[in-house]
Structure 1
């Protein structure tokens, strides 16, 4: 398959990595597709893990602001394609829980796994309708290996042309290959695609590396560190307004 100027698409992985050094141009362009992350972008588990962790921390005498909770999650390995038990063991360390209370903290945090319930953010379905009304194609790229199961359970699979996880191509975000292969499956070139996600490292950096325009969604106002994100929104209302600006004629 040929890309712009007759170049092969998808390009070799080493070329993809080299292309991500600088942000995508802010110039107004025409886009054909919007692809999304899943967890904390479109879907979340109730109770939300940040809010639940904050309440558990308070039980142990720690009052931690949400941006600091987010950073502790990142340091513990939450943004990586990593081992869940290892992450849970690291979390109380990053929170500053006393060593003799860390096992109790992990137990209290993991109780959430028994009764958590996955659901869409309330603006998602109307927001996807807004994308369709703007003649935009929609895809899904997640590091959650169960994303296809969750999307089917919530009856939203039909909204996405592709549903991609590390199981699909044996590669995870932020590696550019997972973005490139999903786009190739949709036959959309990266310069004509937008990627929306809640992780700076996985979503903004990863999408930028392949040539997509990244949009950081910050529903919980925790991204104090993402100063060079091209665009930041808090939900679909702001995303659709941004898209209207990006899709406007030059």
Structure 2
């Protein structure tokens, strides 16, 4: 007999909301404020290189090495602009500080049109909602200014949890908060490994959101796939019957 569904856990970035403009564009907008003129394409490429390097050297915002999200992100910004020829330490620090705080503002994020409605419908079915996200400590504030925070009973970030998806440990922390067996919990996210595979590994009912039809993995059955959040309710109701 199938366990009745009680909770839905959510990824956030690229599931419920997305960055409104490219990193290159947003970084260049900040650089213009201090009198610099840089190429968004060049800045984007430098950012991706800096981000990958720091993610490999200091995974999960470097929390295991004594760093935190703000320190980690400001270092990524400084390296990004350094690679684009900016060498003034004061300028680098100013832009790094401003950008870290800018990404806490609602105007830099776009909530997907189906997000609020789906969260409301989940709650109307009697389901409780939580967040499990590979994000830093700004996430709760971002959800608040984007009008999403009130939907959730708890928010777990990888910085706070000191462990990141796809580790089973972060999902086990979420299950402790839910207080029900994994079979009574669903998880919705857009990443094949970090969201779908990882949640199903611990027994959670994982759903893979594929808004742009980029996932072609043959081991994800149709009933676990979503091309939009509007498809979720019917699939959750099947687990509640």
Q: TM-score range by the shorter chain?
A: 0.5 to 0.7
Partner of 1:94: none
Deviation at 1:176, TM superposition (A): 0.8
For 1:43-62, list aligned pairs within 5 A. Answer: 43-47=17-21
Partner of 1:12: none
Pick the structure with more helix per residue: 2
Matched, 1:32 2:6: yes
Deviation at 1:191, TM superposition (A): 1.3
Match of 2:153, SS? Answer: coil
- The runs of 5 or more residues in structure 2 that have no matched partner are 27-40, 43-47, 62-71, 86-98
Partners of 1:199 and 1:81 lie apart in 2 by 16
Partners of 1:29 and 1:139 lie apart in 2 by 19
Deviation at 1:227, TM superposition (A): 2.2
- Displaced runs of 4+ in structure 1, greater than 4 A? 76-80, 82-87, 113-116
Partner of 2:116: 125
8 Å CA contact 2:60, 2:159 repeated in 1: no
Match of 1:228, SS? Answer: coil
Partners of 2:15 and 2:6 lie apart in 1 by 20
How large is the Cα RMSD of the aligned pairs? 3.9
8 Å CA contact 1:214, 1:229 repeated in 2: no
- Could you give the per-residue CA deviations for residues 62-90 of structure 1, whole angstroms, max 9, x where no partner exists? xxxxxxxxxx99xx588974676779x99
Q: TM-score, normalised by structure 2?
A: 0.65
- The runs of 5 or more residues in structure 1 that have no matched partner are 1-26, 53-58, 61-71, 91-101, 105-112
Q: TM-score, normalised by structure 1?
A: 0.62
Partner of 1:134: 125
Matched, 1:41 2:15: yes
For 1:158-197, list aligned pairs within 5 A. Answer: 158-197=150-189
Task: Give the aligned length.
Answer: 193
- Could you give the per-residue CA deviations for residues 185-242 of structure 1, whole angstroms, max 9, x where no partner exists? 2212211100100011111121112210110001122112x32124110222111121
Higher RCO (CA-CA < 8 Å; seq separation 6+): 1
Partners of 1:86 and 1:174 lie apart in 2 by 23
For 1:210-229, list aligned pairs within 5 A. Answer: 210-224=202-216, 226-229=217-220
Partners of 2:76 and 2:148 lie apart in 1 by 31
- Could you give the per-residue CA deviations for residues 159-192 of structure 1, whole angstroms, max 9, x where no partner exists? 1011000222211111111111112122122111
